Amino acid sequence: MSKVEFNKENGPREVFCGLTSIVWLHRRMPDAFFLVVGSRTCAHLIQSAAGVMIFAEPRFGTAILEEKDLAGLADAHEELYRVVNDLIARRPEIKTLFLVGSCPSEVIKLDLATVAEKLNKRFLGQVRFVNYSGSGIETTFTQGEDGALKALIPLMESSNEEKLLLVGTLANNVEDRFKKIFRNLGISNIESFPPRQSTELPKIGKNTKVLLTQPYLSDTVRDLKHRGCEIISAPFPLGIEGSAKWFLAAAKAFKINELKVHEIISPLIKRAKLALDSHKEILKGKRLFLLPESQLEISLARFLHNECEMDLIEVGTPYLNKDLMKEEINLLPDNTKIVEGQHVEKQLDRVRESSPDLVVCGMGLANPLEAEGISTKWSIEMVFSPIHGIDQAADLAGLFSKPLKRNQILTSKTLVTH
């Protein structure tokens, strides 16, 4: 492991809670519905984070707790059955219903597991119910996906068939690219988790080789291990380097000759490097500060330093699983400062003191930093854009070069905001 500096920080935070991941999960599995059991705040949070993505009738909603629900838990359970009945009557196409716990439901100890169990009996053969917590007292942003996937594992049947299982939500086009490349490598049995339909869950067992596409799936990985799956140790497929090592690690697990991998990915790498050059020109030597939010920060820092030659000031992450991030941390330059957790005020003091060229942060902080003359990139875009893989490396770099490019065009640094 390289000599990386680890720090922990506590205090007021500026991050999303796990409920936010519903925004991409419901798009990944169009036959599922995510029912948050929470407050008006939860409903408002999801619709605000989802922004313009409002559908005729979204496949997510909130059972909003009211005063009378807080009085007695038994009644709250009955109320929830009523809401679920109404919902299923209205949306008969729902195949899987996620009951998603929130801060208030966790605090009043609403037992969603028992509710899910009862509902499973009542709607046997029609709808499956699973539960997990996306609450902000336990989860940050992408950890919501970890919870949702973990909740699905008990529903996955066992099989000893050898297969490659890609774990973590990917954009569909990126997923298709990856599968094509793996087939070219000679791995034919490839499945994804989460699947594109909630009912098409992959079967797993001791010959399932798990390759993570996202770095925020600690709990899911643990449960997959318990089911006998082999976890392939690799960096994450962000950037050329990460993706190449990711393919190599998978090939090694399937005993595919390394030369064959190079033969297949070399032209892709050559092409990607060419595309990356124009972004590198802009990013080279620029100083980067990453605020914690998505847990993608360490992989992004590795890509932006190793391939785009940016200098890393600080790499924030809401949560650090050193074991899962081992391969990534090994690729970071010496003396990289990683900060787990957040004290947003102190961190912003450090941002101002270090005068970075670019700050990766949440939407609540972006405009205020821009107003101070500090360029930003919103981190939420990383979870909505197809950024994985060799082919996407230039697009990924483009997300960071664009704000800097704009700076070159627009000259005034600090503006009066209204």
Partner 1 sequence: MELTLWTYEGPPHVGAMRIASSMKDIHYVLHAPQGDTYADLLFTMIERRGQRPPVTYTTFQARDLGGDTAELVKKNIKEAVERFKPKTLLVGESCTAELIQDQPGALAKGMGFDMPIVNLELPAYSKKENWGASETFYQLTRTLLKEKVSSSDKINPLRWRELGRRPKVNILGPSLLGFRCRDDVIEIQRILSEQGIDTNVVAPLGASPDDIERLIDAEINICLYQEIAEASCEWLKRNFGMEYTNTIPIGIKNTIEFIHEVHEKLDLPLTNKEELENKSKLPWYSKSVDSNYLTGKRVFIFGDGTHAIAASKIAKEELGFEVVGLGTYSREMARQVRATAKDLNVEALITNNYLEVEDAMKKAAPELVLGTQMERHSAKRLGIPCSVISTPMHVQDVPARYSPQMGWEGANVIFDDWVHPLMMGLEEHLIDMFKHDFEFVDGHQSHLGHTAANTNKILNSDEKKEKNSKEGIIWTESGRAELTKVPFFVRGKVKTNTEKYAILRGIPEISDETLYDAKAYFG
Confirm or reject binding of residue 367 to partner 1 (CB under 8 A): yes
Confirm or reject binding of residue 87 to partner 1 (CB under 8 A): yes
Give Dmax over CA atoms of the chain in angstroms. Answer: 66
Check if the beta carbon of residue 337 is closer than 8 Å to that of residue 287: no
Check if the beta carbon of residue 388 is closer than 8 Å to that of residue 171: yes
Task: List, in order, residues 6 or more apart from 355 with CB less than 8 Å away.
Answer: 287, 374
Check if the beta carbon of residue 203 is closer than 8 Å to that of residue 215: no
Instruction: Give the range of 201-209, 320-328, 360-368, 401-409 binding partner 1 by CB under 8 A.
Output: 360-368
What's the one-letter identity of residue 122?
Answer: R
Dig out the tokens for 195 from the structure.
């699947």
Output the smallest distance, CB 144 to partner 1, in A.
10
Confirm or reject binding of residue 108 to partner 1 (CB under 8 A): yes
Confirm or reject binding of residue 248 to partner 1 (CB under 8 A): no
Output the smallest distance, CB 297 to partner 1, in A.
16
Instruction: Among 5, 6, 44, 160, indicate the residue that binds partner 1 (CB under 8 A).
Output: 44
Output the smallest distance, CB 62 to partner 1, in A.
5
Of 39 and 243, which has the nearer Cβ to partner 1?
39
Confirm or reject binding of residue 70 to partner 1 (CB under 8 A): yes
Check if the beta carbon of residue 374 is closer than 8 Å to that of residue 392: no
Confirm or reject binding of residue 103 to partner 1 (CB under 8 A): yes
Check if the beta carbon of residue 112 is closer than 8 Å to that of residue 78: no
Dig out the tokens for 250 from the structure.
């998978």
Instruction: Give the range of 147-155, 187-195, 206-214, 362-370 binding partner 1 by CB under 8 A.
Output: 362-370
Q: Mark 396-415 with x for binding to partner 1 (rule: CB under 8 A) and - for no binding.
A: -------------------x
Instruction: Among 23, 25, 65, 112, indicate the residue that binds partner 1 (CB under 8 A).
Output: 65
Confirm or reject binding of residue 9 to partner 1 (CB under 8 A): no
Instruction: Give the range of 17-25, 201-209, 251-259, 351-359 binding partner 1 by CB under 8 A.
Output: 17-25
Tell me how far CA of residue 250 lies from CA of 136, 228, 300, in angstroms.
34, 17, 21
Of 49 and 383, which has the nearer Cβ to partner 1?
49
Give the CA radius of gyration of the chain.
Answer: 22
Size of site (CB under 8 A) for partner 1 = 65
Q: Distance (Å, rounded) from C-alpha 52 to C-alpha 60?
A: 15
Dig out the tokens for 179 from the structure.
């599968």
Output the smallest distance, CB 117 to partner 1, in A.
19
Place of tokens 């500096």: 5
Instruction: Among 25, 29, 63, 382, indicate the residue that binds partner 1 (CB under 8 A).
Output: 63
Output the smallest distance, CB 119 to partner 1, in A.
14
Q: Distance (Å, rounded) from C-alpha 292 to C-alpha 362?
A: 8
Confirm or reject binding of residue 297 to partner 1 (CB under 8 A): no
Indicate the Cα dihedral angle 217, 220, 221, 225, nearest 10°.
180
Of 52 and 409, which has the nearer Cβ to partner 1?
52
Of 242 and 341, which has the nearer Cβ to partner 1?
341
Q: Distance (Å, rounded) from C-alpha 383 to C-alpha 285?
A: 26
Confirm or reject binding of residue 365 to partner 1 (CB under 8 A): yes
Q: Distance (Å, rounded) from C-alpha 291 to C-alpha 352?
A: 13
**Chain-centroid distance, C-alpha 166:** 14
Check if the beta carbon of residue 54 is closer than 8 Å to that of residue 29: no
Instruction: Among 345, 354, 355, 406, indicate the residue that binds partner 1 (CB under 8 A).
Output: 345
Scanning 359-414, the segments in alpha helix (DSSP H) are 363-371, 380-384, 393-409
Task: List, in order, residues 6 or more apart from 66 with CB less than 8 Å away.
Answer: none
Output the smallest distance, CB 249 to partner 1, in A.
34
Of 38 and 316, which has the nearer Cβ to partner 1?
38
Confirm or reject binding of residue 15 to partner 1 (CB under 8 A): yes
**194 upstream amide cis, omega within 30 of 0:** yes
Dig out the tokens for 79 from the structure.
């109320």
Confirm or reject binding of residue 54 to partner 1 (CB under 8 A): yes
Confirm or reject binding of residue 61 to partner 1 (CB under 8 A): yes
Residues 110-139 that bind partner 1 (CB under 8 A): 135-138
Provide the binding-site residues for partner 1, judged by CB under 8 A. 11-20, 38-41, 43-45, 47-49, 52, 54, 56-58, 60-67, 69-70, 76, 79-80, 82-83, 86-87, 103-104, 106-108, 135-138, 140, 345, 362-368, 370-371, 415, 417-418
